């Protein structure tokens, strides 16, 4: 039951396949259509659970552990760096001379500030949540549930029209892989307010290996193609109006994050995850503990970006 539940969640729309991490809950029994809010306590506890189960079931859930940790930290892979460089988008973000002189790790962090929405504050603590609704476009005057995360098939077609998975058309395969349809993939019973008409909430209806076998593709070729396509969509999505960030930093939720990163470090043998846990401990000691050693409930991001405790 545990294996099936975690597998279903990781394939479902409750899992943000483009932006990483998990939404707050699903409104249906298929883990398909979520309430699109993302909570720190959900990410942290799921990080712990998937990390524990990764150690129980072998490496089955390793990718999900990394996915959640990446969302919480706002990490970008070196593959995205290469894509941004190759498309020339990097030149729009920073001056080329600085790119040449800077280490790759630093460049990744700088691009990350532009392309990835993260719960990690500059001070080392984690913000509370990312809202469910946002403006569909920069000119919109009304927010919509899931606007930042959902896709019309025409958008996907345009973004992936020049991409191939091996010798196969990427658009068709990507749309099949994530259950994307022209009329959308959200039925009216899952969308009572009609906010998701013609929209698609990405989900996997079969495993990666099953899909690769069905379409006669080597698993690694399909993996590379899917990752490249997801990066293209992530770059496009970063240009949409972002959801509001709840920038309070709740003490007890920092504890959940610390536990999650320690367990992820053990599961994946990642020293950097352990360092993240240590930095969060230091954040709590500095900002969420008074002179008598008593823990405070929360801290807040001030107008100048500094941490405030009152």
Per-residue pLDDT of 219-243, as tens digits, reads 999 999 999 999 999 999 999 999 9
179 domain-assigned:
yes
Q: How many domains, the chain?
A: 1
Give the count of alpha carbons within 13 A of 42, CB side only: 19
Token pair for 41: 């306590």
Residue 130: which of 112, 118, 141, 147 has the closest Cα?
118
Question: For residue 69, what pLDDT is reported?
Answer: 93
Distance of alpha carbon 199 from alpha carbon 187, whole angstroms: 10
75 domain-assigned:
no
Spatial neighbors of 243 by CB under 8 A, at least 6 apart, are 36, 117, 130, 131, 132, 133, 134, 148
Residue 200: which of 233, 170, 222, 168 has the closest Cα?
233
68 domain-assigned:
no
pTM for the predicted model, two decimal places: 0.87
Distance of alpha carbon 104 from alpha carbon 17, whole angstroms: 25
Q: Which residues of the chain have pLDDT under 50?
A: 78, 81, 85, 87-105, 107-116
209 domain-assigned:
yes
Pairing of strands 248-250, 245-246: unpaired
Question: By CB neighbour count within 10 A (0-12 exposed, 13-18 middle, 19+ buried), where does 196 fall?
Answer: buried
Residue 242: which of 49, 36, 58 has the closest Cα?
36
Per-residue pLDDT tens over the stretch 26-71: 999 999 999 999 999 999 999 999 999 999 888 889 999 999 999 9
228 domain-assigned:
yes
Residue 128: which of 258, 254, 215 has the closest Cα?
254
22 domain-assigned:
no
Q: HEC profile for the chain?
A: CHHHHHHHHHHCCCECCCCCCECCEECCCCCCCEECCEEHHHHHHHHHHHHHHHHHCCCCCHHHHHHHHHHHHCCCCHHHHHHHHHHCHHHHHCCHHHHHHCCHHHHHHHHHHHHCCCCECCCCCECCEECCEECCCCCCCCCEECCCCCECHHHHHHHHCCCEECCEEHHHHHHHHCCCCCCCCCCCCCCCCCCCCCCECCCCCCCHHHHHHHCCCCHHHHHHHHHHHHHHHHHHHCCCCCCCEECEEEHHHHHHHHHHHHHHHHHHCCHHHHHHHHHHHHHHHHHCECCCCCECCEEEECCCCCEECC
Phi/psi of residue 145, nearest 5 degrees: -60, 130
221 domain-assigned:
yes
Distance of alpha carbon 9 from alpha carbon 36, whole angstroms: 14
Domain region containing 235: 149-239
Tokens 């009329």 -> residue: 183
Question: For residue 75, what pLDDT is reported?
Answer: 63
192 domain-assigned:
yes
């Amino acid at each position: 039951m545990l294996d099936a539940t975690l597998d279903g969640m990781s394939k479902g729309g409750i899992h943000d396949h483009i932006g990483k991490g998990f939404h707050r809950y699903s409104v249906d029994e298929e883990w398909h259509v979520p309430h699109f809010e993302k909570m720190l306590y959900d990410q942290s506890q799921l990080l712990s659970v998937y990390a524990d189960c990764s150690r129980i079931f072998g490496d089955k859930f390793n990718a999900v552990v990394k996915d959640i940790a990446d969302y919480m930290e706002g990490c970008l892979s070196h593959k995205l760096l290469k894509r941004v460089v190759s498309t020339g988008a990097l030149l729009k973000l920073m001056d080329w001379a600085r790119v040449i002189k800077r280490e790759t790790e630093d460049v990744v962090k700088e691009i990350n500030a532009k392309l990835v929405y993260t719960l990690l504050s500059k001070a080392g603590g984690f913000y509370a949540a990312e809202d469910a609704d946002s403006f569909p476009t920069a000119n919109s005057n009304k927010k919509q549930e899931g606007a930042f995360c959902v896709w019309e098939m025409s958008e996907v077609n345009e973004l992936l029209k020049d991409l191939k998975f091996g010798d196969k058309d990427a658009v068709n395969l990507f749309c099949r892989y994530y259950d994307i349809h022209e009329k959308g993939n959200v039925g009216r019973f899952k969308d009572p307010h009609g906010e998701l008409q013609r929209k698609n909430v990405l989900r996997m209806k079969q495993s990666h290996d099953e899909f690769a076998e069905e379409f006669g593709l080597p698993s690694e070729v399909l993996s590379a193609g899917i990752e490249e396509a997801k990066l293209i969509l992530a770059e496009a999505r970063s240009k949409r109006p972002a959801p509001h960030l709840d920038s309070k930093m709740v003490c007890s939720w920092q504890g959940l994050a610390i536990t999650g990163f320690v367990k992820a470090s053990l599961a994946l043998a990642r020293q950097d995850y352990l360092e993240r846990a240590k930095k969060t401990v230091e954040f709590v000691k500095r900002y969420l503990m008074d002179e008598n050693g008593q823990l405070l409930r929360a801290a807040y991001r001030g107008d100048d970006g500094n941490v405030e405790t009152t």
